[in-house]
Amino acid sequence: MRSTDPRQLAAAAFEKHFGGLPETAAFAPGRVNLLGEHTDYNGGFVLPMALERLGVGIAAARGDAPGKVELFSSTFDAVRTRTIDEGRAGDWSDYVLGCLKSACAEEIAASGIRIALATTLPMGAGLSSSAALEVATLKAASELFGRKADPVSVAVEAQAVENGFVGMPCGIMDQFASSVGTPGMALFLNTRTLEYAPAPSIPGYRFVIVGSGVSHQLTEDGYATRVAECRQACNLLEVAMLSDLGVDALGGTPGFPELLHRRVRHIVTENQRVHDGLEALRTADAGVFGRLMLESHISQKDDYEITVAETDAIVETAIALGACGARQTGGGFGGSVLALVADGDLEAWADKLTATLPHTTMIAIV
Ligand code: GAF
């Protein structure tokens, strides 16, 4: 039987492509976000969960030419040859090259590197395949060249690569969940202080990740536009970050643009929902958590304007069929919907959902 472990898939791809054994292999998981969307680049709170088995495997060994970076993706069935001193090229190899430049530029300038990668994450599903690729690369390269790398600094370094080299102005949630999170367990994170704590699941209930079939692409304009709108709101309101504002700040400032008011309202109320959601997990209150999920979706739809007709329809149908709550998860503009469903209803609920909306896929139950 073919392995589904990304690390083993990457090692097998390495052997097949390069004709020798890798010296090291690493795994980094994708994540699903339970609550707290677009709050991370505003210094706010998030509640992601690293995924079991769904992630990126990287197998690596020293190469045969100084500075040469040989990449093979078994997922894209693609080969890329780069050099360690190159700049951004605008494709998937940038995520890997950026991390290698950050972590082990000198070592690779001396020995070169060969890397094979494999992913079990669906692309464009909003489950953080880019961050998993970065974290897996940093872990593998650090191990190969004997560099110490604790999980929090790997997350910080991976985000810096994505911001500075890849050019995507993301927050730290995805890299943090991938590097620090325990697969299958929710993680509460204060993105400003980087304080974090594991959060429990709700006994008798499961989160279901439903693929919308609409591929989200964060390097397109929508995400960067939201980041810019939040910065503009900070400047007008004279705060360093929108998370400096409490719910009481929502009364409205005379002359403050209506669109920015809605963006601010999403961030401020979403931060509060993460706090309330953490409490609901700790008290095992599926009803409250589900309600917060639905409020989060409506806020993403009406105030932050990052949902699409397909994810709206999945949320509406999921609730109509008996889910406690549902919301679009991840960066937005498509991707996946997360629903909270009672264990006993799971099978019938999933069957009815896919019968009603045949373009959806059940990606995972966590
Ligand atoms: C993407 C980003 F990479 C994260 O930093 C976060 O902002 C998320 O969208 C939205 O919550 O995954």
List per-residue pLDDT tens for the chain, 366 residues long: 567 899 999 999 999 999 999 999 999 999 999 999 999 999 999 999 999 999 999 999 999 999 999 999 998 889 999 999 999 999 999 999 999 999 999 999 999 999 999 999 998 899 999 999 999 999 999 999 999 999 999 999 999 999 999 999 999 999 999 999 999 999 999 999 999 999 999 999 999 999 998 886 654 689 999 999 999 999 999 999 999 888 777 666 778 899 999 999 999 999 999 999 999 999 999 999 999 999 999 999 999 999 999 999 999 999 999 999 999 999 999 999 999 999 999 999 999 999 999 999 999 999
Whether residues 195 and 209 share a domain: the answer is no
Spell out where the chain has E strands: 24-35, 45-62, 68-73, 78-83, 113-119, 186-190, 196-199, 205-211, 325-329, 336-342, 361-365
* Closest to 186 in 3D by CA, of 205, 171, 169: 205
Buried residues in 9-41 as b, exposed as e (16+ CB within 10 A): bbbbbbeebbeeebbbbbbbbbbbbbbbbbbbb
Determine, yes or no, domain membership for 116.
Answer: yes
End-to-end CA distance of the chain: 24
Task: Give me the pLDDT at residue 284, please.
Answer: 98
Determine, yes or no, domain membership for 253.
Answer: yes
Ligand 1 atom having least distance to the Cα of 33: 11
Rounded distance, CA 247 to CA 151, Å?
33
Rounded distance, CA 129 to CA 54, Å?
9
Question: Ligand 1 pocket: which of 33, 42, 95, 173 to mutate (most atoms <8 Å of CB)?
Answer: 173
Residues designated as active site:
174
Rounded distance, CA 65 to CA 7, Å?
25
Whether residues 36 and 182 share a domain: the answer is yes
Task: Give me the pLDDT at residue 124, please.
Answer: 84
Ligand 1 atom having least distance to the Cα of 162: 3
We report the CATH number of the domain holding residue 221 as 3.30.70.890
Number of domains in the chain: 2
Buried residues in 220-235 as b, exposed as e (16+ CB within 10 A): eebbeebbebbeebbe
Q: Mapping DSSP to helix (H, G, I), strand (E, B) and coil, where does residue 313 land?
A: helix
Whether residues 267 and 159 share a domain: the answer is no
Rounded distance, CA 131 to CA 179, Å?
9
Q: Which of 199, 218, 250 is the last residue of a domain?
A: 199
Ligand 1 atom having least distance to the Cα of 223: 9
Residue nearest to atom 7 of ligand 1 (CA): 38
Residue nearest to atom 12 of ligand 1 (CA): 331
Whether residues 13 and 140 share a domain: the answer is yes
Domain that holds residue 245: 205-365
As to burial, measured by CB atoms within 10 angstroms (0-12 exposed, 13-18 middle, 19+ buried), residue 274 is buried
**Ligand 1: which residues within 6 Å by Cβ?**
33, 37-38, 40-41, 128, 170-171, 173-174, 218, 330-331
Determine, yes or no, domain membership for 35.
Answer: yes
Q: Mapping DSSP to helix (H, G, I), strand (E, B) and coil, where does residue 72 land?
A: strand
Task: Give me the pLDDT at residue 79, please.
Answer: 95
The pTM (predicted TM-score) of the whole model is 0.96
Residue nearest to atom 5 of ligand 1 (CA): 171
Question: Ligand 1 pocket: which of 38, 127, 135, 305 to mutate (most atoms <8 Å of CB)?
Answer: 38
Whether residues 36 and 173 share a domain: the answer is yes
Determine, yes or no, domain membership for 271.
Answer: yes
Task: Give me the pLDDT at residue 332, please.
Answer: 93
Ligand 1 atom having least distance to the Cα of 170: 5
Please tell me whether the interface predicted TM-score (ipTM) of this complex is above 0.85. yes
Whether residues 118 and 150 share a domain: the answer is yes
Q: From the CA of 15, how far away is ligand 1's center (Å)?
A: 34
Determine, yes or no, domain membership for 357.
Answer: yes
Beta bridge partners of 328: 337
Question: Ligand 1 pocket: which of 32, 170, 225 to mutate (most atoms <8 Å of CB)?
Answer: 170
Q: How far from 237 is each of 221, 234, 249, 276, CA to CA, in Å?
A: 24, 5, 10, 26
Determine, yes or no, domain membership for 1.
Answer: no
State the amino acid at position 43 in one-letter form. G
Residue nearest to atom 2 of ligand 1 (CA): 170
Task: Give me the pLDDT at residue 220, please.
Answer: 63
Determine, yes or no, domain membership for 97.
Answer: yes
Determine, yes or no, domain membership for 52.
Answer: yes
Ligand 1 atom having least distance to the Cα of 46: 11
We report the CATH number of the domain holding residue 12 as 3.30.230.10
Whether residues 220 and 350 share a domain: the answer is yes
Spell out where 41-185 has E strands: 45-62, 68-73, 78-83, 113-119
**For residue 32, what are its two tokens?**
């699903």
Placement of tokens 């197998």 in the chain: 59
Buried residues in 282-311 as b, exposed as e (16+ CB within 10 A): eeebbebbbbbbbbbbebbbebbbbbbebb
Number of Cβ within 10 Å of residue 111's Cβ equals 18
Q: From the CA of 174, how far away is ligand 1's center (Å)?
A: 7
Task: Give me the pLDDT at residue 105, please.
Answer: 97
Task: Give me the pLDDT at residue 353, please.
Answer: 98
Q: Which of 199, 231, 248 is the last residue of a domain?
A: 199
| Cβ neighbours of residue 11 closer than 8 Å, sequence gap 6 or more | 21, 22, 25, 57, 59, 116
Whether residues 113 and 247 share a domain: the answer is no
Rounded distance, CA 125 to CA 270, Å?
21
Q: How far from 142 is each of 36, 100, 146, CA to CA, in Å?
A: 31, 9, 6
Q: Which of 182, 199, 216 is the last residue of a domain?
A: 199
